[in-house]
């Protein structure tokens, strides 16, 4: 059956859940490449859904799945197994003290849901603050703390949901690019929160790099200032490292750069390397008090052994092969190449991010910084035609922003190939 016929079947069968489906119909994948049924390959610069941190079908992950599913795949959620304990201990050994308690779940939304539910139970408050450009998931509390998309048409969000603007060094709100005062912006944001709060603040949830928000990296020192604001108000800080965790930014956890420890750390996408696995880490003190108050977060796949075994293999590979260091080196190379494209083309307004989580914003020209989503879409389509899968996010007030996140196992040759295809795609897009 030809690709067009398969897509026709999809059109008559599937519910669309995020715009239109890609015209590329995948058949198999290996490493940094995805292949269709005719054998055409596409270089995957999104790591699947920003998750396949070790590339597709990593042989050791494949072997772990084969062994685990033949031995112990799924259990009653209250029944424990060795893979669950081993992964929990591996995570707590990586995380800074006092993050020494772990809950294993399936998705990023679930992990954020679980953390926010604990924060509410622990503090007795119900108000949750996030960034106006955030994405934390599509379920209940996670969706209520998501502001980058998906808020219109579904009725009220959770009572007590509030947001402040995330810092954007390319499009600063307070001051110009050279004299951007993110501290003043943060203080102003919390002043507004104080005016709106009913006195029941529970938590602030943040990504160290807002991915769906357009790859907005929090400036150095920002998380420390944010933590101070939270402590002043008795709020808990939830750090969502779905895309930044486990080495992608060049450090095991992106928040480490700011020498702070959040009250909750949530991991998901990269932890399962493409398989559904997530985790919540918190302190013994918070866990104990929540347990005493009857904390409940049972799901069908809480503490499942098969994904836990996969997560342990992921961590083992990242540590053994020093892939966080590799991400820092490869990210420097990729960012330099993107900056060369920025210097070459007037439509490349900004290049930002850290390690192998980078963003490139497309504009009409560098002087006006006027957003050009249409040009970004044209580049996306041409890149796919030439063999490069790119992901573009479209947000109010921004140009189309490419989220560039190849596997941290990506080779130098693959980086060069991606940059070459992107160069050709931009050249084509601006010529017509």
Which residues participate in catalysis according to the annotation?
135, 207, 240, 243, 269, 403
Q: How far is CA 113 from CA 5, 143, 198, 271, in A?
A: 39, 9, 22, 17
Rounded-to-integer distance, Cα 280 and Cα 271, Å: 11
Residue 97 CB coordination number (10 Å): 8
φ and ψ of 170, to 5 deg: -80, -35
Rounded-to-integer distance, Cα 327 and Cα 247, Å: 7
Across 81-90, b (16+ Cβ under 10 Å) vs e yields: bebbebbbeb
Angle at which helices 412-431 and 373-386 pack, to 10 degrees? 130
Rounded-to-integer distance, Cα 273 and Cα 400, Å: 27
Q: How far is CA 75 from CA 38, 106, 371, 388, in A?
A: 40, 14, 50, 40
Q: How far is CA 108 from CA 8, 49, 115, 164, 303, in A?
A: 31, 12, 11, 22, 15
Please measure the distance between the N-terminal and C-terminal CA atoms of the chain and give it in whole angstroms. 34
Bond from prior residue into 98 cis (ω within 30 degrees of 0) = yes
Would you state the structure tokens that stand for residue 431, as one six-digit string?
């010529």
φ and ψ of 277, to 5 deg: -155, 135
Q: Which residues contact 240 (CB under 8 A, 6 or more apart)?
A: 108, 112, 136, 205, 206, 207, 266
């Amino acid at each position: 059956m030809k690709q067009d016929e398969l897509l026709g079947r999809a059109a008559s069968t599937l519910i669309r859940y995020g715009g239109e489906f890609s015209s590329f119909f995948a058949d198999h994948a290996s490493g940094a490449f995805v292949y269709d049924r005719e054998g055409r390959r596409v270089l995957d610069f999104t790591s699947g859904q920003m998750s396949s941190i070790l590339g597709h079908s990593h042989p050791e992950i494949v072997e772990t799945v084969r062994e685990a599913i033949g031995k112990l795949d799924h259990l009653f959620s209250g029944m424990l197994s060795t893979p669950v304990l081993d992964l929990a201990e591996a995570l707590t050994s990586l995380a800074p003290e006092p993050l020494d308690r772990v809950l294993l779940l399936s998705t990023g939304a679930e992990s954020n849901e679980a953390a926010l539910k604990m924060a509410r139970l622990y503090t007795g408050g119900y108000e949750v603050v996030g960034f106006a450009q955030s994405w934390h998931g599509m379920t209940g509390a996670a969706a209520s703390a998501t502001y980058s998309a998906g808020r219109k048409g579904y009725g009220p969000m959770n009572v007590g949901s509030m947001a402040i603007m995330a810092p954007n060094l390319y499009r600063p709100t307070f001051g110009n690019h050279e004299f951007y005062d993110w501290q003043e912006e943060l203080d102003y944001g919390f002043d507004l929160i104080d005016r709106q709060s009913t006195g029941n603040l529970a938590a602030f949830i943040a990504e160290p790099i807002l991915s769906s928000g357009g790859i907005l990296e929090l400036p150095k020192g920002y998380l420390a200032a944010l933590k101070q604001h939270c402590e002043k108000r008795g709020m808990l800080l939830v750090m969502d490292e779905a895309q930044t965790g486990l080495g992608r930014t060049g450090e095991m956890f992106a928040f480490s750069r700011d020498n702070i420890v959040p009250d909750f750390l949530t991991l998901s996408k990269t932890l399962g390397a493409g398989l559904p696995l997530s985790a919540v880490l918190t302190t013994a003190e918070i866990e104990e008090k929540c347990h005493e108050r009857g904390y409940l977060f049972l799901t069908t796949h809480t503490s499942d052994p098969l994904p836990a075994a996969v997560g342990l293999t992921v961590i083992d590979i990242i540590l053994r092969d020093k892939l966080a260091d590799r991400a820092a080196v490869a990210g420097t190379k990729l960012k330099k190449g993107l900056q060369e494209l920025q210097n070459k083309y007037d439509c490349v307004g900004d290049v930002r991010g850290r390690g192998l989580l980078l963003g490139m914003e497309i504009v009409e020209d560098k002087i006006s910084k006027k957003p050009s989503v249409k040009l970004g879409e044209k580049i996306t389509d041409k890149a796919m035609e030439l063999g490069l899968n790119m992901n573009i996010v479209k947000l109010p007030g921004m140009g189309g922003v490419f989220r560039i996140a190849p596997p941290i196992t990506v080779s130098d040759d693959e980086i060069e190939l991606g940059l070459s295809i992107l160069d050709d795609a931009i050249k084509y897009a601006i010529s017509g």
